[in-house]
Amino acid sequence: MKNRHAYLKDMADRIRLCSLEMTSAAGSGHPTTAMSSAEILSVLYFDQMRYDPRNPESLEGDDFVLSKGHGAPGLYAAIREAGIIEDLDPMTLREASSPLEGHPVPRVPGVRIATGSLGQGLSAGLGLAHAMRLDGYDEARVYVLLGDGEMAEGNVWEAINLAPHMGLGQVTAIIDVNRLGQANPTLYQWDVHAYARRLEAFDWHVQVVDGHSTEELADAFAATREDTRPSAVIARTVKGKGVDFLEDAPDRHGKAVSEEELERARSQIEPRLQTIDYRPANRVSLSPVPAFPAPVIGVETDYRRGDMVATRTAYGQALARIGRQDERIVVLDGDVKGSSRTKFFFSGEPRRAVQGYIAEQNFVAMAVGLQARGFRAHVASFAAFLTRAHDQFRMASYSRSRMAVAGSHAGVSIGADGPSQMGLEDVAMMRALFASAVLSPADAVAAEKLTALANGHDGIAYVRTIRGKTPVIYDNATTFRIGGCHILRRSDDDVCVIVASGITVSEALKAAGELERDGISVGLIDAYSIKPLDEQALREAARTVPFLVTVEDHYPEGGLGEAVAAAVSGTTEVHRIAVTKMPHSGSSTALMAEQGIDAGGIARECRELTGGAS
């Protein structure tokens, strides 16, 4: 026992010193927050967590999430001492060629989740824990290290609220209460019992410890395994612990020490270092990560042309179909399964269905944890409500997440519910994500087949669905691809080409028929893949007509029109029809007409542009 804790204290000091050295070499970073959590990291990596340094991503072992991602130097120092990244030079921290980034990303072995935007790590931890349960790894645990500053984030409390309800007793949250934030002291400073009271009220197993006592930390982590509830270890620590001029020093957040200060710090830490004959028992031999390739799944649709079907309903049916074929699919819904139509999956595959309730930030970040352990996460809510989780989607992209997302009730076409329910910014949001795909099906056939394609996309794939019923325009044999489009009308007599997506495709078809009766021929492209666009098809169309007309049930900023204009820049003019007036309640028909995105509005715009009769 004596050697054990002497070893853990020694490892904590090695983590401290390495954190100082690597941030000093980088000239930036957060050494003092790494120093406050040094004992926590030491006890976890050298005493408590089960892992295999040769297979750090093995699904059989425990997981660690550094929610306070600015403490990355401490994590890197710990996993280097643990033998996980022995071949990586810590002095390359923050260099362009190094995987040791300023905040952790999955480029580093043993790091599953990208962190750094505070407040999301615990939610990801819930997803990891649920994945463990689905795979039957009953002994595996998830440890999430949070800073006391991020405890002000609402996302954290969404996770705290849901974990006991889901029975996720594998989760242990460690709160590093070091009192100091970046600009000010944190909300409760060192009042550790303020955190304890709140967590106990949410039915967590709570322990308050001295965060620099390896004995108290080890006992607390051992006790978490004896309680079936999610656990919280509230650790009172000192920012900059171990170096007198850094301890509890304000204005040192995010500042590397100078060379002179580094020598002073070394003179205090190095005399404490020693070689101790002790072999940690928590490092074990585990199996490598199995491959979970996304199967190529097709859906056989059986619609008839002219049938009136809502694309949200077709999406739900497709989700149920592919869920029966792919046992790694998990669906997370935000208390709208009746509206989003995920209810079909929930009734058929209840074990792999997660009700995230009205907490979009939490269940999107949970999906990141689920996919990090090999599940294919599908997330669904109203398109408008998903905008709450923009940062969670952004961080998911940095986690290299594979995630399918469905936003229903898109656009003013939803009608009487009013603008709070209308997704009018969602395309812009999802287009802006790295490696994302944005898909906008016009009918039920497209919705089912694009949902199946989203399941296999290497990145975040967004499927935009419609509340109201639209006519089926495609044969069941029609094929789709991410990055494709369909040319629905084309002739040598076309005076322009309309480019539409979603509900505006059927409106554009009606407009084209009306114009044809007036002797005006227009082409029509269904740009069902808004990102990536079929730029080649669009440029070929643009070369044959004086201008293109885009039409969308979305604000003009960041939508289909801007994407098309960028794709054909320098080739032809692009005239954009979009939602430009303040939305409000009303019938779908009236609202679309008011915005000029219905058949009448499209036909009117084309006549004015071509000089045709009104």
Residues catalogued as catalytic: 360
Give the span between the Cα atoms of 373 and 82, in whole angstroms.
22
CB 40 within 8 A of CB 78: no
Amino acid identity of residue 282, one-letter, is: N
Residues 6+ apart with CB under 8 A from 62: 49, 50, 51, 140, 141, 142, 143
3-state DSSP assignment of residue 72: helix
Phi/psi at 88 (nearest 5 deg)?
-100, 130
3-state DSSP assignment of residue 16: helix
Residues 6+ apart with CB under 8 A from 302: 476
Which of 505, 360, 534 is closest to 440 using CA atoms?
Answer: 505
Give the span between the Cα atoms of 359 and 386, in whole angstroms.
10
3-state DSSP assignment of residue 234: strand
143 forms beta bridges with 64, 172
Give the span between the Cα atoms of 532 and 404, in whole angstroms.
15
Give the span between the Cα atoms of 152 and 494, in whole angstroms.
58
Amino acid identity of residue 280, one-letter, is: P
E-assigned strands of 29-84?
Answer: 63-66
Give the span between the Cα atoms of 417 and 2, in whole angstroms.
67
Q: β-strand 460-464 against 403-408: which pairing, if any?
A: parallel
Amino acid identity of residue 502, one-letter, is: G
Q: Report CA torsion sign: 282, 288, 294, 295.
A: negative
Q: β-strand 376-382 against 353-355: which pairing, if any?
A: unpaired
User: What tokens does 165 get?
Assistant: 């309800």
Q: What single string gives the DSSP state of each residue in 420-479?
A: GG-BSSHHHHHHTSTT-EEE--SSHHHHHHHHHHHHT-SSEEEEE--SSEEE--S-TT--
Residues 6+ apart with CB under 8 A from 217: 39, 40, 43, 209, 211, 233, 235
Give the span between the Cα atoms of 198 and 202, in whole angstroms.
7
CB 65 within 8 A of CB 145: yes
Give the span between the Cα atoms of 480 and 599, in whole angstroms.
25
Burial 321-350 (b: 16+ CB within 10 A, else e): bbbeebebbbbbbbbbbebbbbbbbbeebe
3-state DSSP assignment of residue 119: coil
Which of 439, 345, 333, 338 is closest to 386 using CA atoms?
Answer: 333
